[in-house]
Chain A
């Protein structure tokens, strides 16, 4: 008889479901950080007095490599920060920019908040839906475009505005959007719009110098108040 650890022992009819669950919760072999990514992750963690503060920067880093937060990356981030994967995904799910499912190569966010709405944002959004053939929250079948309806992006002097992979364009109408998409496909905007998930093309060049060696053992607010 095989041991439980091999997963074979559980393969009776009743336990099939559990076994499937176990298989699925194990991170896939692919989709983790690259060697370089892991080094950058360590450098980011070192900037903060407490490890967990690097959680969001690490999520951005993972998205820069894969476009979204793969299960494997979530597990690796959890390992790096001494957290459980649930703590990482539970935090990430709070934030609009962190994607827990695959997204297209270009995430297009259309602002429809008050200033853009007054400048015709919903009309623009309709035009974009027509051009891409998808609704907000959907991704094109070829995995090229994901469409999102965004809250105010903070570029209201160029309303109605959109973001493509977090880079701003506006004011736009349908014709201008279609032209933009054509240029994007032709690679003409490569200098402006980075690959999906890349938040910053500039890296931090200096490690923390003032706090070297005395950053551990800070009182944590949670410990102070007996919170878990």
Chain B
């Protein structure tokens, strides 16, 4: 049963003017920053450590530990990753567009804790309205004395730059994001030596944190790390913003206490997803972005918990849940996801660059009715060349994790619905009707 809990990052979303400084200040804005700069840096770091805040970008690495890995140096940088491009993920989009000051406040708290004097917020170029509002908020924050020299009269100073991206999924990968921020093609860097905490932006130690991670910080500082850790369960502390889409009646974003809500609640509860479109039967769902292996009916009662999902063989990733129902052709779904990786592969590593292209072509010919019986095994064979063993978590053959994420959807679809692939090949056409427009079917 789903129980509504306190909203942490979405508490201002009920207001139409949630992005303005007036609304922000009227609802406790910048109080967290004021409190933070009155505390010793170590204590701010401690609170975040106590909160056991996991990074909200996808990998789920503890934010406090990420900070403690920063190499001590004269110059270091803080870069906020707002390049949200994982298909079906739209939580950072919401946070940037609807509460930009909260993001700036969190960023400054992190900058203070880290002793950084230059911070960047990298926003995906497609979020043009978000960039406008965040830039306006940045201007307001400078005028308000919350950014710049001697913040709120203290001896703490930070410059903040809102940096627009220009359309490349790969820039969500932190070393690629750093390359892009240096004005280069978004090619991921080899680790080692390019661990950002050691050798990041301009070769200096750099912390890269996600937008949602930062947006949690003001609340954590005001209410204490323990209060945050009291929400959720075990390592999955606090609340998390989930993005629900696909064939559900009420797609949208939902801030939920971690672990306490199940996938079934998220998809079917009358206050959340409200069930499958046209009351069809669920076929499969993606639990955390298209890089994640799919889940099925038997996984519905799993909690939205990082460890539980990992144990069941997938990942909570970016917190985006995509629902497929009985009318969905899994060959078409796997093809579209693979096509995405094919288009977004940066092309540095052969398994990813070539593999994604071959997989896309084979899937396409099966969907279009000219598949061969041996194609199903061929797909798995190519997957095996990209991520040997096709396991989860995948084996790495490439510089970054984009390549090894490609087999997830294909392997999920083949292992569960092999008959459907065979049916396509035997019939010589797709047995499903084309996806039809759902405009008006929502709400």
A203 to chain B, nearest CB (A): 7
Residue A204 interfacial (CB < 8 Å):
yes
Residue B39 interfacial (CB < 8 Å):
no
A153 to B167, CA, bound (A): 10
Interface locus among B48-56, B377-385, B435-443: B435-443
Do B336 and A112 have beta carbons less than 8 Å apart?
A: yes
A42 to chain B, nearest CB (A): 15
Residue A223 interfacial (CB < 8 Å):
yes
Interface residues of B (CB under 8 A from A): 75, 84-90, 92-93, 117-118, 124-129, 131-133, 135-136, 138-139, 142-143, 148-149, 157-159, 161-169, 180-186, 193-194, 199, 201-204, 243-247, 251-253, 286, 290, 320, 322-324, 328, 332-333, 336-337, 340, 343-344, 346, 434-440, 442
Contacts of B92 in A (CB 8 A): 154
Closest to A113 in B: B87
Do B340 and A151 have beta carbons less than 8 Å apart?
A: yes
Residue A8 interfacial (CB < 8 Å):
no
Do B166 and A156 have beta carbons less than 8 Å apart?
A: no
Contacts of B149 in A (CB 8 A): 209-210
A176 to B439, CA, bound (A): 10
Q: Which of B132, B193, B328, B440 has the most CB of A within 10 A?
A: B132
Do A156 and B88 have beta carbons less than 8 Å apart?
A: yes
26 A–B contacts, CB within 8 A, in A order: A49-B202, A55-B183, A56-B163, A92-B166, A94-B168, A96-B168, A114-B322, A114-B336, A115-B87, A117-B435, A119-B246, A119-B435, A120-B438, A120-B439, A154-B84, A156-B243, A157-B243, A171-B438, A171-B439, A173-B440, A199-B128, A200-B131, A200-B135, A210-B159, A218-B202, A223-B203
Do A151 and B142 have beta carbons less than 8 Å apart?
A: no
Contacts of A224 in B (CB 8 A): 199, 203
A168 to B138, CA, bound (A): 23
Closest to A214 in B: B75
Do B437 and A173 have beta carbons less than 8 Å apart?
A: yes
**Per a CB cutoff under 8 Å, which of A96, A115, A165 touches B246?**
A115
B414 to chain A, nearest CB (A): 17
Closest to A48 in B: B161
**Per a CB cutoff under 8 Å, which of B84, B251, B336, B442 touches A113?**
B336
**Per a CB cutoff under 8 Å, which of A91, A154, A160 touches B183?**
A91
A70 to chain B, nearest CB (A): 16
Contacts of A51 in B (CB 8 A): 183
A186 to chain B, nearest CB (A): 22
A92 to B199, CA, bound (A): 25
Asked whether A206 and B117 contact (CB < 8 A) given A114-B322, A168-B129, the answer is no
Contacts of B203 in A (CB 8 A): 218-225
Contacts of B136 in A (CB 8 A): 202
A176 to B438, CA, bound (A): 13
Q: Which of A98, A119, A204 has the most CB of B within 10 A?
A: A119
Do B183 and A56 have beta carbons less than 8 Å apart?
A: yes
Q: Which of A92, A96, A98, A221 has the most CB of B within 10 A?
A: A221
Interface residues of A (CB under 8 A from B): 47-57, 59-60, 81, 90-92, 94-98, 112-115, 117-124, 151-157, 159-160, 163, 165-168, 171-173, 176, 199-206, 208-211, 218-225
B437 to chain A, nearest CB (A): 3
A65 to B346, CA, bound (A): 29
Contacts of B89 in A (CB 8 A): 152, 154, 156
Count A-B pairs with CB separation below 8 Å: 239
Do A91 and B336 have beta carbons less than 8 Å apart?
A: no
Do A90 and B164 have beta carbons less than 8 Å apart?
A: no
B124 to chain A, nearest CB (A): 7
B277 to chain A, nearest CB (A): 9
A114 to B332, CA, bound (A): 9
B336 to chain A, nearest CB (A): 5
Asked whether A155 and B434 contact (CB < 8 A) given A200-B132, A202-B132, A205-B142, the answer is no
Contacts of B438 in A (CB 8 A): 118-120, 159-160, 171
Do B202 and A221 have beta carbons less than 8 Å apart?
A: yes
Closest to B168 in A: A95
Contacts of A153 in B (CB 8 A): 126
Do A199 and B88 have beta carbons less than 8 Å apart?
A: no
Do B166 and A171 have beta carbons less than 8 Å apart?
A: no
**Per a CB cutoff under 8 Å, which of B162, B166, B201 touches A59?**
B166
Closest to A47 in B: B161
Do B439 and A219 have beta carbons less than 8 Å apart?
A: no
A227 to chain B, nearest CB (A): 10
Do B118 and A210 have beta carbons less than 8 Å apart?
A: yes
A144 to chain B, nearest CB (A): 20
Closest to A127 in B: B437
B225 to chain A, nearest CB (A): 28
Asked whether A157 and B164 contact (CB < 8 A) given A166-B128, A176-B439, the answer is no
Asked whether A97 and B328 contact (CB < 8 A) given A123-B436, A124-B437, A221-B202, the answer is no
A120 to B346, CA, bound (A): 28
